[in-house]
Amino acid sequence: EDKVVQSPLSLVVHEGDTVTLNCSYEVTNFRSLLWYKQEKKAPTFLFMLTSSGIEKKSGRLSSILDKKELFSILNITATQTGDSAVYLCAVEAPRNNDMRFGAGTRLTVKP
Amino acid sequence: NAGVTQTPKFQVLKTGQSMTLQCAQDMNHNSMYWYRQDPGMGLRLIYYSASEGTTDKGEVPNGYNVSRLNKREFSLRLESAAPSQTSVYFCATSTGPIQYFGAGTRLSVL
């Protein structure tokens, strides 16, 4: 059975800290892995990763995929209170565009 | 340009009542999805529509039906609501792996 596991489930840090969020997966016929940020309402897209070892970066956020070890990490440097959210990892499952989501990591950044 | 619009935003039902959740998109995407989100469980796919006129079951379809009315609209129906269907429901659209979500419907079944 396909599964996506995120860790930790929750994390509390202070502004300025660096955090690493983890996503491991077991999905047949892997196509892509995506990260989303969910604040109060709808998840919004952050990154899509398809190739091993290539870092995607956007400002203070970056992500990398390891297809051999079946995991991805999302790094956030110099955290701000606006980074507080649930971060979701999703893996594209065998059927086109069918995604398997992890349970999410709830990040709280304190001032 | 609203993106993905879901109605209603909140709903309270009694066990056994029926209702339809509406979703409309103006992104001209072919694929549309309904998910439910429960604490500690992430997003789980209920139904999926690859194009107008086609629908397919996802991970948790029991107790739900869907209609892909046209390219823009994809509705989710609960025929006889149960407390286990208390959840937040999200509609999403895509043309590829990246999905765009509506703001969600918070449903409570008493």
Q: Using CA atoms, how far apart are residues A34 and A20, in angstroms rounded to an integer?
A: 16
Q: How confident is the model at residue A97 (pLDDT cuts 50, 70, 90)?
A: low
B residues 39-68 lying closer than 8 A (beta carbon) to A: 40-45, 48, 50, 56, 58
How is residue B43 written in tokens? 């997003």
pLDDT digits (tens, 9 = 90+) for B8-27: 999 999 999 999 999 999 99
Q: Using CA atoms, how far apart are residues B27 and B44, in angstroms rounded to an integer?
A: 23
Q: Using CA atoms, how far apart are residues B17 and B33, in angstroms rounded to an integer?
A: 23
Examine the pLDDT at A95 and tell me if it is beyond 80: no
- State how far residue B50 is from chain A, nearest Cα, in angstroms: 9
Q: How confident is the model at residue A96 (pLDDT cuts 50, 70, 90)?
A: low
Q: Is the peptide bond before A8 cis (omega within 30 degrees of 0)?
A: yes
Strand partners, A105: A87
Of A34, A95, A101, the CB nearest to B42: A101
Of A32, A42, A98, the CB nearest to B102: A42
Q: Which residues contact B1 (CB under 8 A, 6 or more apart)?
A: B26
